[in-house]
Amino acid sequence: MRHTPVFWLICLASTACAGPPVEAPTGFDGASNGLVDHAAHAKDREDFDEIETIEDGLGPLYNAQSCRECHQDPISGGASQITELRVGHRGKYGQFENPEIPIARGEAIIRNRSLVNDRAICPNGQFPATEIHQRAPQSENVRALRVSITLLGDGFVEAVTDQALIDLARQQCRASGNKICGQVIRVPILEALEICQGASGNAVMARIIGELHAAIREGESIAEPLANQKTRIFDDLVINMIDVGEKTGELDKMLIKVADNYDDEVDVAVASLTSLLEPMLIVVMGGAVFCIVLALFLPLLRIIEQLTSR
């Protein structure tokens, strides 16, 4: 206890010598923080501030017409000045389940997403009798408000390694007994899904990928929308592997294992088909050779019979 005053004197002296604190290399001036040049920053901000309309594909349900509407306090890119409502309910075993929100006077049900949109494009002049606004039912008694964080300075997250964030999410899930599981999301996943949707060549697969893209964009996981699909294209093994990958922060490894498993199944199927085709091809080729031989020798036999009959 005798050394306590001395300790505080040393701290005060060192603080006084250090001078005033230096501001972080970012602020509310609308300028780049140095990760990109001013021209690129201005172009990105123009896209960020762009207001979308129905002609641009806005709707049918939405919360804002531009990214800036949720990040404009005190300037574009700042913290959110609005809140988003997310609702749901607890299932049979106490786990959180997404809501079922009726719209259009009960004619349609919004499933597989916890976000409740505040705005809608209908009714309008073209569809005056169509009412599609979302209203959370009383049965969805788990409710929370989400506020978007500021984007100013988020570029410095690059100073933290990817593995550190992955380890943090994994440790958090284990330490909380799977009650709180941070999810590591790599930004290009939405772009990757868009590419897969365009290159799938299958209307059903493209539709499912589009629904998955929309769910992830709204903050959902990957496994849950796939599990709740009416048309189950992916089997339980794939969905469970994705779920485990999301909870452990090793989604990329799990997807690689799923891909390897499918590759092995394709190899086995091709090998089995080849083993079945070989005897069939032999029979077909034998039949073709037999027909050719008959076509060649039958005229000769007839000629020989005619000569011998004379």
SS3 212: helix
pLDDT for residue 277 is more than 60: yes
Distance, CA of 119 to CA of 221 (rounded, Å): 24
Angle value at C-alpha 213, between 168 and 140, nearest 5 degrees: 75
For the chain, what percent of residues have pLDDT higher than 90?
3
Structure tokens given for 282: 């032999």
Nearest to 170 by CA among 252, 255, 247, 256: 247
Specify the pTM. Answer: 0.43
Distance, CA of 179 to CA of 27 (rounded, Å): 36
Across the range 257-262, mean pLDDT stands at: 83
pLDDT for residue 182 is more than 80: no
Task: Compare 22 and 226 and report the one with higher pLDDT.
Answer: 226
pLDDT for residue 180 is more than 50: yes
Quick: pLDDT tens for 196-219: 777 667 778 888 888 888 887 777
Structure tokens given for 249: 């922060």
Confidence of residue 69 (pLDDT cuts 50, 70, 90): confident
Q: Where are the strands (E) in the chain, listed by range?
A: 61-62, 84-90, 96-97, 101-103, 108-110, 115-116, 119-120, 142-146
Across the range 154-174, mean pLDDT stands at: 68
For 89, phi then psi, to 5°, come to -150, 165
CB atoms near residue 200 (< 10 Å): 15
Across the range 110-133, mean pLDDT stands at: 84
Quick: pLDDT tens for 283-304: 889 989 888 888 888 888 787 7
